[in-house]
A = this chain, B = another copy of it.
Amino acid sequence: MSDPTLPSFPTSLGTSEGTTITLMGQDLATELMGEVSFGELAYRLLTLEVPTPQQSRLFEAVLIGLADHGFTPTAIAARLTWLSAPDSIQGALAAGLLGGGSRFLGVTEDTGRFLGEVLAGLEEHPTDEAGWDAVAEAAVRRRKEAGRFVPGLGHPVHKDGDPRTPRLVQIAREEDLYGPHLALFEAVGRTHETVLGRRLPLNGAGVSGAALADLGIPQELLRGTVLLARCAGLLGHIAEEIRRPIANDIYMSVDRNAVYVDPTETAPEA
C-alpha cells in the first residue's frame, strides 16, 4: 500500500485493515482485549516480548510500588495545572510527568544503569553471597572515589527500611526471577556501610530498577516505565483534586506568604 517513491515507516506495533486491528502481531480484539492484563500489554510494548505470568506479576508489582508517593512535587504540579486549566486534563497529566527527571524519579534508571555497568565489567557472576559482597563493595568504593553518589540508597522517610524493597525481592524469588541485578543490589545494601561509614536503606525506586533490569527492560526505558506507573498515580491525584480540591489552598498559602526582596539585593554576583 506504500508509495515506493516515499520513505516508508516500519513498525511492529499497530496496524488496521477493514475489520481487524493487529497489535504486535496479535489480534487486538480477540487475543489481547479481555485476555491479557494492561500491565502485560505495557510489558510487550516496551520489549516486544510476551511475558510469562511470573514476569507480569513482578512487572506489575513494580508499577504498583512506584505509582504514588503522596504529595510529591509532581503531584502538586499536576493539581495546580488542573486548577488553572481544568478543561485540559491532558495538560495537568503532562505537567506532572514533566517532573520525571533526574532528581526524584531518576533513581530507578540510575540504579539500573549503575548495576548494569558493574555487571558488564564482570567476567562471570559470583555464585554466592560472599562473592556478590566483594563485587558490590568494590563497586561502591570506585563510585565513592569518583566522587559519585551510589544510586538506590537512602530515603527521607523510610530511614529504617523501605517496605517495597524486601517485598519486591520476595516476589522475584517466588517467581524465580531473582537475577544478578537484584543480587548485586542486595549486596550493595549489605556492604556499603563499610565504605561509606553509615548504613542507608535500599530504597523502593532503586530495587525497582534492579528488578526491571532483571526482567530485561532496556536501561533507556527504565524511566519510561516509572512514568507509566506515575501516570496512574497522577490521575489519582487529579481525580482527588476534582472530588476534594486543595490546589487553590496551596496556591493561596504560597501567594500570601510571598515576601518581596529588592532585586538589587538578589542580583547574582558578577
Given the known interface contacts A84-B104, A89-B224, A235-B228, the answer about A21 and B163 at a Cβ–Cβ threshold of 8 Å is: yes
A86–B102 contact, CB under 8 A? yes
Q: Does A46 contact B (CB under 8 A)?
A: yes
Question: In the complex, are the beta carbons of A254 and B250 less than 8 A apart?
Answer: yes
Say how many copies of this protein the assembly contains.
4
Q: How far is the CB of A178 from chain B (nearest CB, A)?
A: 14
CA gap between A47 and B7 in the complex, in Å: 34
By the criterion of a CB under 8 Å from any partner CB, how many residues of chain A are at the interface? Answer: 142
Which listed residue, B76, B84, B223, B257, touches A103 by the CB 8 Å rule? Answer: B84
A15 contacts B77, C-beta separation under 8 Å: no
Q: Interface 1/0s, chain A 8-51, versus B by CB < 8 A?
A: 11111111111111111101111011101111011011111100
Please give, as numbers and ranges, the residues of chain B lying within 8 Å of A81 by CB-CB distance.
73-74, 77, 95, 98-99
The interface of chain A, by Cβ under 8 A from chain B, is 1-3, 5-25, 27-30, 32-34, 36-39, 41-42, 44-49, 57-58, 60-61, 63-65, 67-74, 76-77, 80-81, 83-95, 97-105, 157-158, 160-164, 166-168, 170-171, 174, 216, 218, 220-221, 223-225, 227-229, 231-233, 235-240, 242-244, 246-247, 249-268, 270
Beyond the given A3-B5, A218-B242, please list 5 additional residue pairs across the A-B interface where CB-CB is below 8 A: A34-B171, A73-B80, A74-B80, A77-B95, A87-B87
